[in-house]
């Protein structure tokens, strides 16, 4: 009886594929008129489609001229609106063109699902009128986003603390950096709120509360060596960022030497975000193969989803000296029944100087045998060559980095793992060059 099980599952899989193809064909027939219309029209010039009509309840306007001039357009599949049902995250690929520079690929994000965007509208309306629906533009002027007006000199921690992961425990130094580097104003460079227009202040605060990813990219820009995608601009509720490359998951079965190099870079990112000269610790709270991408030319690994990044100011922690601030914080490994899960305490991340969270997140969810994604287990460093597997050092370091047996073992394992991967990557590169 068991022998027939694979056959039955195989037939079921083939039937499901046929049903999917037939379903898509039916959808195409039902949307023939809309299909042709989608290819003829550039919807990114439509104010309502990009929700420009909802500003200042939006993310910015710095790229609106480019959108309205038709310089930004969806790539082929992005033009088909009936496929949006599969695009839950509202992330699109597009082409951006400049007369002298030609065209290049960019990524457009609505920074949330349709449901999440609808919920923020309802919250704004309820706070302003007590009803779930209202004139959103007028309602914005009756919310906390408008109460921080031109008379307020600085954006202070007590006002925005807890609004999002970025400001779960903000310092004045961090908030000054966010305001000073805010890209959705012509007069950026000042940390004084009064130098922003009323609409710009509301847009900044709306972004900070709903999805602070654009502010992370602006405050810690790739031009200064931070491992994030480059922020380009926004129009309405659509944000444009630089296209990095294929997602990390595409390299899951890449040649061994490529995967070793990617693993080395991931550990370097964990180190850079934890320990840097600016004394800001950026903790990645959502780590999965989809949240990283790899450059096609330089092979550089970049964080492409920065919504869930908690920033702790180590300088402030040392100054305030909260309880146990100088005791090393160890993230606790926990088994879970879903993919890419992590165990952490935000309050501990905010109150300790020495924290192993980023090493733990990268090792558990990306590199080690405990990593699971899309039904696959084994991590990026799965199936090493026989001599590496026989040696056992790599597996030992990965296990200690993920599920340490010794107190503070992860700190030492992460350090040794970075060194090991660097040496291995160098040796493999030299062997390939011969």
**131-159 confidence digits (pLDDT tens):** 999 999 999 999 888 888 667 789 999 99
- Residues contacting residue 397 through CB under 8 Å, at least 6 positions apart: 413, 416, 417, 420
- Given the structure tokens 């779930």, which residue do they identify? 132
* CATH number of 246-433, picked from 1.10.510, 1.10.287, 1.10.10, 1.10.3470: 1.10.510
For 161, 182, 218, 268, the CA distances from 318, given in Å and listed in that order, are: 19, 27, 26, 24
pLDDT digits (tens, 9 = 90+) for 319-377: 999 999 999 999 999 877 788 889 999 999 999 999 999 999 999 999 999 999 988 98
331-340: list long-range contacts, CB under 8 Å, 24+ apart. 331/355, 331/356, 331/357, 331/360, 331/361, 331/410, 333/360, 333/364, 333/370, 333/402, 333/403, 333/404, 339/288, 339/372, 339/373, 339/374, 340/286, 340/287, 340/288, 340/289, 340/365, 340/372, 340/373
pLDDT digits (tens, 9 = 90+) for 59-94: 999 999 999 999 999 987 656 655 666 667 899 999
pLDDT band, residue 186 (cuts 50/70/90)? confident
Q: What is the mean pLDDT of residues 372-396?
A: 94
- Between 398 and 41, the higher pLDDT residue: 398
Q: What is the mean pLDDT of residues 33-45?
A: 65
Q: What residue ranges do the domains of the chain occupy?
A: 246-433
Share of the chain above pLDDT 70, in %: 88
Confidence (pLDDT) at 431 = 74
Q: What is the mean pLDDT of residues 165-171?
A: 98
Confidence (pLDDT) at 82 = 56
Mean pLDDT of the chain: 89
Q: What angle do CA 263, 269, 271 make, to 5 degrees?
A: 105
Please tell me the distance from the alpha carbon of residue 396 to that of residue 390, in angstroms, as a whole number: 11
Candidates 155, 151, 122; CA nearest to 139 is 122
Sign, CA torsion 124/126/129/135: positive
User: What are 156's two structure tokens?
Assistant: 């202070």
For 70, 90, 123, the CA distances from 136, given in Å and listed in that order, are: 27, 21, 10
CB-neighbour burial class of residue 434 (10 A; exposed 0-12, middle 13-18, buried 19+) = exposed
């Amino acid at each position: 009886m068991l022998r027939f099980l694979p056959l039955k599952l195989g037939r079921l899989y083939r039937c499901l594929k046929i049903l999917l193809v037939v379903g898509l064909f039916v959808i195409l027939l039902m949307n023939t008129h809309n299909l042709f219309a989608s290819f003829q029209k550039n919807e990114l010039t439509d104010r309502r489609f990009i929700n420009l009509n909802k500003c200042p309840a939006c993310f910015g306007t710095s790229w609106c001229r480019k959108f309205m001039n038709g310089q930004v357009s969806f790539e082929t599949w992005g033009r088909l609106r009936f496929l949006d049902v599969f695009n839950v995250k509202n992330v699109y690929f597009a082409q951006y063109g400049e007369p002298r520079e030609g065209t290049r690929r960019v990524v457009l994000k609505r920074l949330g699902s349709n449901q999440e965007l609808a919920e923020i509208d309802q919250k704004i309306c309820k706070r302003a009128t007590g009803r779930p629906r209202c004139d959103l533009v007028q309602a914005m002027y009756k919310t906390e986003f408008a109460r921080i007006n031109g008379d307020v000199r600085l954006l202070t921690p007590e006002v925005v603390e807890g609004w999002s992961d970025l400001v779960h425990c903000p310092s004045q130094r961090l908030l000054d950096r966010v305001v000073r580097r805010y890209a959705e104003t012509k007069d950026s460079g000042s940390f004084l709120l009064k130098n922003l227009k009323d609409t710009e202040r509301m847009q900044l605060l709306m972004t900070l509360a709903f999805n602070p990813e654009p502010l992370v990219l602006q405050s810690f820009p790739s031009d200064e060596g931070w491992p994030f995608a480059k922020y380009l601009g926004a129009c309405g509720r659509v944000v444009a960022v630089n296209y990095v490359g294929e997602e990390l998951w595409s390299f899951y079965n890449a040649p061994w030497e490529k995967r070793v190099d990617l693993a080395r870079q991931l550990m370097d990112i964990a180190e850079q975000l934890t320990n840097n000269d600016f004394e800001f610790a950026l903790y990645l709270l959502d780590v999965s193969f989809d949240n990283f991408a790899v450059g096609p030319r330089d092979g550089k690994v970049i964080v492409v989803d920065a919504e869930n990044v908690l920033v702790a100011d180590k300088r402030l922690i040392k100054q305030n000296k909260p309880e146990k601030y100088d005791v090393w914080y160890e993230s606790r490994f926990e088994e879970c029944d879903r993919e890419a899960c992590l165990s952490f305490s935000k309050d501990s991340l905010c109150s300790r100087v020495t924290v192993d969270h980023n090493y733990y997140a990268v090792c558990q969810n990306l590199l080690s045998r405990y990593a699971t994604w899309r039904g696959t287990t084994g991590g990026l460093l799965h199936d090493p060559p026989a001599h590496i597997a026989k040696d056992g050092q790599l597996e030992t370091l990965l296990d200690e980095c993920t599920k340490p047996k010794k107190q503070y073992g992860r700190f030492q394992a992460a350090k040794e793992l970075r060194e090991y991967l660097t040496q291995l990557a160098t040796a493999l590169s030299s062997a390939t060059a011969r």
